[in-house]
Structure 1
Amino acid sequence: MANLPNYAVSPGEHIQEWLDDRHLNAAELARRLGVTPKHVSELLSGKAPLSAKLALGLERVTGTPARLWNSIEAGYREDLARLAEEESLVQQYDQAKQFPLAYLRKWGYISATSRDKAGTVRELLSIFRIGNLNSFDATWAHSKVAYRKATLNGDKTFERATWLALGEQAAAIEELPEFDRKQLEAMVTDLRSLTANPNPVVAIAEAQAMLRNVGVGLCLVPPIPGFGVHGATRWILGRPIVQLSVRGKKDDQLWFTLFHELGHVLLHDHNSIFMQGSGSREEFEADVYAATTLVPDEYRDRLPANRNIRTVRELAKELGVAPSIVLGQTQKATGDFAWGHELKVTLEWDMGSK
């Protein structure tokens, strides 16, 4: 859009040039076209549209093909609409400032600068897939769509909606195959083994590919400052979308959140949206699913009761999971979180390829 002119040239201006070059006036053109002088006057001023019928007449009078006159007219109307839209977008900028624009620019979801008000609003509308910010409330905050109904009301409405919308965009839902529950259940053990990879960023990318093959969209969207959420799950077009915020930047939290969300996929209603932190029964059940999937019940009595790094490592090796996962389960069981930090891997994300 930056390379387009901020003006529109009507067919009438081209017609006027033709008249001037031949020292003809509007009255003469009206006589040749068989229309009223008023119609020609309005055509020359850009007030009257150039009809396809009149374009054929101009072809005979001027020698310029009708298709070129029609093209000029179409371009003129498009430019008028674009200029009118630019003004409308600028007027919506105050509404746009309610959204986390600094965050969206930081992570490259919006490329327009703060000076480019129209461009900022245009890109924001694309994220939410709406034509006007006045449609946001009905489409997102008070949507009738099942997977948007919950969790958007409150003082973080714009942050929540933005984060979820980015997840929809990243999940490429239309490209997902049909969801296959049995295949997902069968691959849980393989997914768990990925946690032992010393490079969790590479491992989570592998998990994305595996889940995509069974119709589960897994997407990573950076956390929005002030909006504390680790993950969310909802169903769109019959496919589960699992969204992680990579909040916390440690591998144990990443993996626990993933299995927590997969718990929602396998255990809960497909017409709801689940976001961690609600304190609901479903959230508790998803926590239990994640904990017992990563460290099955028959191993839980072997979690160390004290700060025993060696036992943590040995049990993790036997289970085929990351030591940080066993550490996290141990810390939660004992309430002692002040040790073993060397077992946790700090994640380094490159969201440029989001």
Structure 2
Amino acid sequence: MDIKVIKTEQQHQDYLERIHSLMLMMPPTRSDEHEELELLITIVEAYENSKYPIEPPDPIDAILFRMHEKGLKQVDLVPYLGTRSRVSEILSRKRPLTVSMIKALSIGLGISTDTLIGINSDDNQSHEEGVDWSKFPLKEMINRGWISENGNALKNSTEDIIKGFINQLGWQSGSLSFKRTLSGDAYSPSTQYALYAWVSRVVQQARKKKSSLGLFDPNVLSASFLRDLAQLSWFEKGPLLAIEFLEKHGIAIIIEPSLKGTRIDGAALKDIDGQPIIGLSLRYDRLDNFWFTLLHEVAHIWKHVHNEETFLDDLDASSDDKKESEANRLAREAFIPRAVWKRSDAYISPTKENIDILSRELKITPAIIAGRLRRELGNYRLFADLIGHGEISRILSTAVIE
């Protein structure tokens, strides 16, 4: 398609139709279609903002108004927001809009990006009014040593202390988004402050490792890379080897227990300089949970993490999100290819002996196989002695001792 600056309304409508068809295709990042979509969005957005921007005061009200005006149902927003459940969560204000959603809705529904971000062009009020600083778990953060409990610090307000904690990251603390979108099954509005504090801590700790990390090359990430990582689970000190392997390739691994009230297994994100970071909470101190969470987050780094989005994962939750499903599939395939799994005796006749045989064949820890059987059969009493309770903390503590 020959793309030019929009000069006529017919040209505008043609571009909108092309954008809609490209969105339905869901082209992969860096493909020709994705590049075309980005260019068309930019051009149409500039045209619409100059000609007839619509700026209702509230993002969700703006979306609902447009839906009513155009006779749209929730299912009609799936191409812009991803899944039916995600549409429902957005419209019920349980989940924030991401940058990609804002762009898609701006073009698809003709709503200005300022409105979707929550900015009224006639209103210069600070975004800080939307932040309840008292909801940050300040006492727990101080108890963990994240914030120094000195006399000068405690004389400041909670807002000043939290801002100081966050601003040292170079992020914007003036709004609840903090220039970073939190998403994933571990995210909830009731825990967003604790989650943001946890992510901030993970990034701070990752920056301390920066000088010891290898150079990150995104091209090295592949199915074979995940398979190589999975097979490190075969070794007794596999978790340590995995951390060393990933950090050699420029991916920082941070172990940080979750804050009270949150349900998070792991996180995948990039720092402001593009440095990939994986945070692990070790919510379940088990080999099967550690390994699957680790590969799930690496899959996010490979396929999904762009710019300011952060994936926060609760792997106990069921999800119909396409990105989460893809990360799960890639992790499962790295450990046990689907064709092998369905034909294996461990799957057909689950016994300790058959689990051991398959683990030796695939060169992976038996904990992974036992964990998968427990989940698929819905029986978490099975093979409790194979999943490695307490093994992760024991193995990681040996690194400190040595």
- Which TM-score band (shorter chain)? 0.5 to 0.7
1:1-354 aligned within 5 A: 97-112=134-149, 117-118=154-155, 124-129=162-167, 136-138=173-175, 141-143=176-178, 145=179, 147-148=180-181, 150=183, 154-172=189-207, 175=211, 176-185=213-222, 187-199=225-237, 203-236=238-271, 237-271=273-307, 272-277=309-314, 279=319, 280-301=321-342, 302=344, 303-345=346-388, 346=390, 347-348=392-393
Please say which of residues 323-332 and 232-241 is displaced more in the overlay: 232-241
Q: Deviations over 1:121-154 (max 9, x none)?
A: 67754531259xxx7342xx133x3x43657771
Distance in 2 between the 1:293 and 1:123 partners? 43
- Contact persistence 1:195–1:322 (CA under 8 A): yes
- Contact persistence 1:171–1:218 (CA under 8 A): yes
- Contact persistence 1:316–1:326 (CA under 8 A): yes
Structure 2 counterpart of 1:245, one-letter code = S
Return the index of the structure with the highest Cα Rg.
1
Structure 2 counterpart of 1:239, one-letter code = Q
Q: Deviations over 1:325-347 (max 9, x none)?
A: 01111222322222101112213
Q: C-alpha displacement at 1:109, in angstroms?
A: 2.2
- Contact persistence 2:216–2:251 (CA under 8 A): yes
- Contact persistence 2:270–2:306 (CA under 8 A): yes
Q: TM-score, normalised by structure 2?
A: 0.55
Structure 1 counterpart of 2:193, one-letter code = F
Q: C-alpha displacement at 1:350, in angstroms?
A: 5.5
Q: RMSD between aligned alpha carbons?
A: 3.4
- Contact persistence 1:232–1:273 (CA under 8 A): yes
Which secondary structure state, in structure 1, belongs to the residue aligned with residue 277 of structure 2? Answer: strand
Q: C-alpha displacement at 1:117, in angstroms?
A: 1.6
Which secondary structure state, in structure 1, belongs to the residue aligned with residue 135 of structure 2? Answer: coil
- Contact persistence 1:98–1:158 (CA under 8 A): yes
Q: Could you list the runs of 5+ residues in structure 1 that have no partner in the other structure?
A: 1-94
- Contact persistence 2:141–2:147 (CA under 8 A): yes
Which secondary structure state, in structure 1, belongs to the residue aligned with residue 294 of structure 2? Answer: helix
Distance in 2 between the 1:217 and 1:283 partners? 21
- Contact persistence 2:296–2:330 (CA under 8 A): yes
- Contact persistence 1:242–1:262 (CA under 8 A): yes
* 2:70 paired residue number: none
Q: TM-score, normalised by structure 1?
A: 0.61
Cα distance change on mapping 1:306 and 1:101 into 2, 3 Å: farther
Q: C-alpha displacement at 1:308, in angstroms?
A: 0.8
Q: C-alpha displacement at 1:160, in angstroms?
A: 0.8
- Contact persistence 1:130–1:136 (CA under 8 A): no
Which secondary structure state, in structure 2, belongs to the residue aligned with residue 259 of structure 1? Answer: helix
- Contact persistence 2:182–2:310 (CA under 8 A): yes
